[in-house]
Amino acid sequence: MKKSLLKKIPDNIPQNIMRCISDADIYDSSCSPEAKVYYIEKGNGYYLKCSGKLSLKKEAEMTSYFHSKEIGAEMLDYISEDRDWLFTSAVFGDDCIHERYLTDPIRLCDTIAYELRKLHELDYSGCPVPDRTAEYIAAAMQNYETGNYDKSHFPDNFGYRSADEAYTELKNGMGELKSKVLLHGDYCLPNIILNDWKLSGFVDVGSGGVGDRHIDIFWGVWTLWFNLKTNRYRDRFLDAYGRDKVNKELLKVIAAAEVFG
């Protein structure tokens, strides 16, 4: 993950967090216009995320839950005032877009597939988001109604020729999507942290919850295509995850939902 050293500490950081980080170097580590992310170089490292009011509430809850499973960052503070602030420890290691991992794509493909299957086999009792699938479908349907359709981030085998075509696929198949596993929700290489090829934890779990495994499987296939610039690892990923749990028709339904954002 890229980091740019800041010459001046942002003056809107809440005071109780500022007291912890005022003597540290702070880096801008943002990768999305929706949120500012700061890396604090102190001790083993910290991350501070800032976004719109109440936008990080679910991420704070899911971060705590993943930490309780020993597969995520420790949630140190969550403040919701005029803006939301989420303060966490850094997960030790490097994300999967580090050169070390990208230069060994076969091992990387197998590793993230195995780790995803292990995640999906965890006990999800007490998860604060018990039906992520219902939320996921509702958001896709609402975005269709408001005209939010964008297939630009998907190659032909992920996308649809029109919004109506995608909507028909989604409407016909959404009843088959279940909530049966613990989801990451945004299972992409930058959100998977490895230490010498061993999982240290997951980050950016705000879209997680109990949901249909095909959401994560779809993003696992997508991130290999996007970050490795090839679709040659699609079948290998599905084999390594386990074909016994993969329904290709449901991957088409997820693709239909995703073009609506």
Which sequence positions are flagged as catalytic? 186
Dist CA 174 CA 107 (whole Å): 33
Which residue from 201, 261, 217, 188 is spatially nearest to 34, judged by alpha carbons? 261
Dist CA 21 CA 221 (whole Å): 38
Which residue from 218, 188, 220 is spatially nearest to 202, judged by alpha carbons? 188
Dist CA 184 CA 204 (whole Å): 8
Q: Are 94 and 194 in contact (CB under 8 A)?
A: yes
Dist CA 243 CA 11 (whole Å): 51
Q: Are 237 and 154 in contact (CB under 8 A)?
A: no
Measured CA to CA in angstroms, residue 148 lies from 119, 185, 222, 259 at distances of 31, 20, 20, 8
Backbone angles phi, psi at 88, to 5 degrees: -135, 160
Lookup: tokens for 201: 């934890």
